[in-house]
Structure 1
Amino acid sequence: MKAFSKYFTAFATGLLFLGTGSCKKALEETPYSFYSPENFYKNESDARAAINGVYAELYTYDLYLQPFWNMTILDDDHVSGADWFLGTTGAGNPQAYFGWEKPWVGCYAIIARANTVLENVINISTMDEEIKNRILGEAYFLRGWAYFQLVQLYGGVPIRLKSLSAAEPETNIPRATVKETYDVVISDFKNAETRLLPLGHPKAGETGRVNQGVAKAFLAKTYLTMASGAATGNVTVRGGTDNGYYTYAKTIVAGYEGIDSKAFYTLARDKAAEMIDSKLYTLTPSWKDLWSIAGRNNKEQMWELQSLAGTAFVNNLGAYFSARSTFGQGAVWTTNNHYKDYDEADARVLDGITHNYTTLQGTNIFYPFAQAALYKVVNGITYNNTNSTTAERAYTIKYSAVADPSVANSDAFYPLLRYSEVLLMYAEAENEINGPTTLAYNALNTVRFRCYPTTGTPAVPVPAAYAPANMSPEQFRSFVLAERAREFNLEGIRRFDLMRWGIYLQVMNKISTGQNNISKVRAKRNLLLPLPLNELNSNKAIPSNNPDW
C-alpha cells in the first residue's frame, strides 16, 4: 500500500501525462501533452509511472469517485435510499444523473492508456524482464476489465486495440457484436494470466495491483457471465410488493445467442477450481473483521480499490452508505425486504447492518423496529425508532471503516473482487454442469459457514448454516443467486446478476414502487445504458443509440 500510494501520488497527480488529454471525447486518443512515447519510455521507472496512469483512471469522476458505482449499485431490487439521490439512476432514469456518460468515457480512457503501455513498455530493454512482463500483464488485464464492463453495460462496443497514430488514424469504428467484444475480454485476461505473477511472489507488485489470481478469477467471471446469459430455464427470486417467491422463465439474453452455455460454464468452473486448489486465498473468518481497516487487502479481498486519507485517492462512499453521515444519515441503504432474506443468526445482518447509531444531529436510532427487544436499549442507552421511512433504514457497515467519518470524501476501500465470489462462481457453474453435487454444495456452504455460529465439541456450524439439502438444479440455481445477493449486498454485483440471468425487468417490475417510494419500474431500454452523445456525434460508424434511448 505504501509504495503503491507513493507512485500514485508522484505520477498520477504530478505528471498525469497519461490522463489529461484522453477524456475530452469518447474514444479520443490525442497525443499526451507533456511527453511523447518516444521520449518517455526509457526505463523501468517510466514503465511503472505509465501503468500507474492506467490505474489512476479508476480514481476519477469518470469511474469510482462516484459515477460507476452510482450507476450499478443504485439500480437493483435490494437498494433504497433518499429520493434526492436515487431519483435518477436508482429510478431507471440514468440520463438525469450528471455522470451518466462517465463509465463509457472512463473505460475508454483506461483502454487508451493501456494500449500506450502495451505498445511501448515491450520495447524497453533496460528493465527486469519479470517486472516488464508483469506491467504488460497489468495493462492487458485493465484493458480487458474495461471491455468487460463496457459489454455488460452497453452491449457490443467499438474495439480499439492500438493507439491512434499516423498508422492507425481511423476514429470511426463500428460496434462489435457482444460475442466479438467478449473475445477481446477473454484474450486480454488470458494474456494477463500468463504474464502476471501469483500472490506472494516477491515481484508481484505493491498492494492494490492485480496479480495472476485476479486475472484467473475475472476470466472465470467472464465465462460465467457468458454462460448464464446463454442459459435457459427457470429462476425463483424473492421480491415483489409482498416479498414473496416468484418464478421467472429465463430466455437467452440478447447478444448471447449461439454461445454454448454448458461449455462456458465448464470453463468457468475449471478456472474457479484453479483458484480454489491454489490455496492462495481464503475467507476472512470474521465477517465484521472483513470490513475493518485492519481487514483491508487480506486474502479474501483479492482486489480492492485503494484509498488513502490526505491524498487525492479518496471517495464519498462512506458519506453516502454509512448510518452516520455528513448528510446526517446516509443516503443509501438495504431494503427492509432484503433484510428479511437473511437468517437471524447470519452475521451479515447481525454484524453487517448497523442496528444502533447516532445521527449527525444527535438522534439515537435503532433498526429494525420489529427487533426492538434486541436493539432498543443497548449498554444503558435508549434508541428510538418510529417505524417510519426515516427510521427503518438498514445501513451496511461495508464502507464505514474510514480514518475520518466527519469528512465527505474519505478513505473507504471498494471491493472489486472477493474470494467468496470465486467459491460461489464454482458452486453455480458445477450445478449447471452436473447438478447440485457434493462439490457444488461444499463451495456454497463454505461461504455460508463463515457467517454463522458453531455449536458442540468439536465445533460444527449450527443447522441454519447449511444450505437446504436435496435441492433440484433449478432450486440450487435460485439459492446461489440469492446467496450472492446476501453476500455481495451493495457491492455492485446484484444488477449484473439480474441482467446476466435475463430476469432484471421481471424482478424490478414485480416491485413497481419500492421502499421510500423509489420507483423500480423499468422498460426494455434499461437493459442497456445509453451511449454518450459525444460518441454518437464523433463516431460516424455508429448510426444510432441503444434501443429506445
Structure 2
Amino acid sequence: MRHTFAKYISRVLLCGAALVGPAGCTEFLKEQAPSNLTPTSFYTIPDHAEAALASTYATLRFMGDGAGIFSSNWQLLEALTGTSTTETAQNSDLNNLYGLVHDGNTAHVVNYWNGLYRVIANANLVLDKVPGITPMDAAQKTKILGEARFLRASAYFTAVRLWGNVPLITKPQTASSDDFLPARAPQEDVYKVIVDDLLAAESAGLAWMDASGRVNLAAVKTQLAKVYLTMAGFPLSKGASHYKLAADKALEVITYANANPSTINLFTTYEDVHRESTENRVEHLFMLQYNTTVAGNPMDNFYPNFKPVTFNGPGGTGSSVPTAAFYNSYESGDLRTKDQAGYFYTTYFTNGNGAPFALGAPYVFKHFNRTSNGTAGVAGSRQNNLNVPQIRFAETLLIYAEAQNEV
C-alpha cells in the first residue's frame, strides 16, 4: 500500500510541478468517456449507419404517440375531415379539432410539426455523416442514403401539404447554426427538395419490395407519382406536364406489378389489408412498423367507448367514431358498410371471442386487429402488432387513373 500511495503522491507532485509550465497536466486529467457518443464520434463504421437509419424509421412512429388523454397525434388528420366525431369530452385539444377551433397551440398540431421535423433532423444526420464512413460497401451506403432521402422527402411532403410554406432544413443543426431559426421557404423550393430526394432514392439500388418493411422501389415511385400529381394541381398548378409525369411514374409500378403479380398486386379481400399475416407485401408498399416488443399499434382510439369488443372487456375511448351522416351517406348494400368486413362494424363478440352483441352504433373497423382482440370462438393474442399502411398499390392505381385522365 505504501508503494501505491507513493506512486499517486509522485503523480500529484509531478502534475503540480508541471502547472508552472505552459501545458500543465491537461492530458493526465482529461476524462475519457467512451460511452458518450456524439455525432462526431458515432458515425465511424457501417453498423453506425444502419443504426442511425433505424432511428429515423423509429421516429416515424410519432404519429401514434399520445396527444393528451384518450387521443393520439394521428387524429389531427382524421378530426378535420368532418366524417368523424368523438364520444369522449375529456380532451379539450381533441374537441377543439372536431370543433374546428384549434390553433398553433393545440397539442396535435404541435406534436405533428415537431414529429415531422424530428424525422427530417434524423434523416439530415444520416445524409451528412454516412458519406464519410470508410471503409463501407458502396452499395450499402447508397441504399442507406436513398432510404434516408425517401424518409426526408415524405416528411416534407406531409408538412408542405399541411402548412404550405415551411422551414426548409437540409443540414444538421445546432444551437450555434447560422440558420437555427430559419424562415419559411416557398412551396416551390420545398417541392424541389422533395422531388430531388425521391429521384435520388429511386436510383439508390432499392429492391422493388422489401418484406422487412424498409423503403422499397415501388414505394418510392408511387410517392413520386403522388408528388407530381399534387404539384399538377393547386397551389403550384404545374398542369399537364406534371399530370403526365405522375401517370408515367405510376405506370412504371403498374407495369412491374402486371409482370410480377405475386410480388405486387391487390389483396383478394379488403380484410387482407388489415391482417398481421399480410404486412409488408403484395398490396402494402410501405407501412409504419409496429411490434409490441418495441411499440404496439396505436389505433385503439377507434374502439367504441366502454363496450366489450376486446379481451380486456368493457373499455375503449370512442375518441374517433364515424358521424351518423357519414355512415348513412353510403348506399344500401355498399360493401364498404358490410358489418366486420368493410370500413365499419355494428356488432362484435363479447370480450373479443364470446357471444355476439350489437354495438348500438357504427364504429370504425378498418384498423381492428382480430388476431390481437379475438374473433368468434378464437381468443386473441393480446399482442397488437398490426402495422399501419402508408402507401398501398391501390393508391398507385388511383394516382394513375386520375393523372391519366388529365393527360
| TM-score where L is the length of structure 1 | 0.57
Q: Deviations over 1:360-398 (max 9, x none)?
A: 699x9xxxxxxxxxxxxxxxx77457xxxxx22233232
Q: 1:355 aligns with which of 317, 334, 346?
A: 346
Find the counterpart in structure 1 of residue 264 from structure 2: 281
Q: 2:194 aligns with which of 165, 172, 185?
A: 185
Q: Give, in angstroms, the shift of residue 343 of structure 1.
A: 4.9
CA distance in 2, matches of 1:408, 1:169: 50
- Matched AA of 1:154: W
Q: Give, in angstroms, the shift of residue 79 of structure 1.
A: 1.9
Secondary structure of the equivalent of 2:390?
strand
Q: 2:299 aligns with which of 305, 314, 317?
A: 317
CA distance in 2, matches of 1:75, 1:409: 30
Task: Tell whether 2:111 aligns with 1:102.
Answer: yes
Q: 1:270 aligns with which of 218, 235, 248?
A: 248
Find the counterpart in structure 2 of residue 414 from structure 1: 388
Q: Deviations over 1:183-230 (max 9, x none)?
A: 111111111111141225xxx6x611111111111111111122232x
Q: Give, in angstroms, the shift of residue 97 of structure 1.
A: 4.3
Q: Deviations over 1:486-536 (max 9, x none)?
A: xxxxxxxxxxxxxxxxxxxxxxxxxxxxxxxxxxxxxxxxxxxxxxxxxxx
- Matched AA of 2:240: K
Deviates more, 1:135-144 or 1:288-297: 288-297
Find the counterpart in structure 2 of residue 134 from structure 1: 143
Q: Give, in angstroms, the shift of residue 176 of structure 1.
A: 0.7
- Matched AA of 1:275: V
TM-aligned CA distance change 1:112 to 1:382, over 3 Å: closer
CA distance in 1, matches of 2:351, 2:226: 40
Is the 2:369–2:384 contact (alpha carbons within 8 Å) kept by the matching residues of 1? no
Find the counterpart in structure 1 of residue 365 from structure 2: 396
CA distance in 2, matches of 1:218, 1:211: 11
TM-aligned CA distance change 1:397 to 1:414, over 3 Å: same
Q: Deviations over 1:390-443 (max 9, x none)?
A: x2223323233453579999433211111101111111111122xxxxxxxxxx
Secondary structure of the equivalent of 2:118?
helix
CA distance in 2, matches of 1:168, 1:212: 34
Between the two proteins, the alignment pairs up a number of residues equal to 345
Is the 1:287–1:348 contact (alpha carbons within 8 Å) kept by the matching residues of 2? no
- Matched AA of 1:394: Y
Q: 1:302 aligns with which of 272, 285, 288?
A: 285
Is the 1:144–1:188 contact (alpha carbons within 8 Å) kept by the matching residues of 2? yes
Secondary structure of the equivalent of 2:233?
helix
Is the 1:314–1:410 contact (alpha carbons within 8 Å) kept by the matching residues of 2? yes
Task: Tell whether 2:340 aligns with 1:332.
Answer: no
Find the counterpart in structure 1 of residue 14 from structure 2: none
Give matches, 1:355-394, under 5 Å.
Answer: 355-358=346-349, 383-384=357-358, 391-394=360-363
TM-aligned CA distance change 1:401 to 1:315, over 3 Å: same
Is the 1:224–1:265 contact (alpha carbons within 8 Å) kept by the matching residues of 2? yes
- Matched AA of 2:244: T
TM-aligned CA distance change 1:400 to 1:332, over 3 Å: farther
Consecutive unaligned residues of structure 1, counting only runs of 5 or more, are: 1-32, 230-255, 365-380, 386-390, 434-549
Deviates more, 1:416-425 or 1:351-360: 351-360
Q: Give, in angstroms, the shift of residue 276 of structure 1.
A: 0.5
Q: Deviations over 1:168-195 (max 9, x none)?
A: 5331311111121111111111111111
Secondary structure of the equivalent of 1:415?
strand
Task: Tell whether 2:97 aligns with 1:79.
Answer: no
Secondary structure of the equivalent of 1:100?
helix
Highest Rg: 1 or 2? 2
Give matches, 1:198-277, under 5 Å.
Answer: 198-200=207-209, 207-229=212-234, 256-257=235-236, 259-277=237-255
Q: Give, in angstroms, the shift of residue 332 of structure 1.
A: 2.1
CA distance in 2, matches of 1:338, 1:284: 26
CA distance in 2, matches of 1:82, 1:408: 24
Find the counterpart in structure 1 of residue 29 from structure 2: none
Find the counterpart in structure 1 of residue 100 from structure 2: 92
Find the counterpart in structure 1 of residue 52 from structure 2: 50
Tell which has more relative contact order, 1 or 2 (C-alpha 8 A, sep 6+): 1
Is the 1:157–1:175 contact (alpha carbons within 8 Å) kept by the matching residues of 2? yes
Is the 1:306–1:413 contact (alpha carbons within 8 Å) kept by the matching residues of 2? yes
CA distance in 1, matches of 2:299, 2:182: 36
TM-aligned CA distance change 1:131 to 1:348, over 3 Å: farther
Secondary structure of the equivalent of 1:297?
coil
Report the aligned-residue RMSD: 3.0
Secondary structure of the equivalent of 2:153?
helix
Secondary structure of the equivalent of 2:278?
coil
Is the 2:291–2:297 contact (alpha carbons within 8 Å) kept by the matching residues of 1? no
CA distance in 2, matches of 1:293, 1:101: 31
Find the counterpart in structure 1 of residue 406 from structure 2: 432
CA distance in 2, matches of 1:42, 1:52: 16
- Matched AA of 1:218: Q
Find the counterpart in structure 1 of residue 276 from structure 2: 293
Deviates more, 1:401-410 or 1:67-76: 401-410
TM-aligned CA distance change 1:428 to 1:39, over 3 Å: same
Consecutive unaligned residues of structure 2, counting only runs of 5 or more, are: 1-34, 67-71, 258-262, 375-379
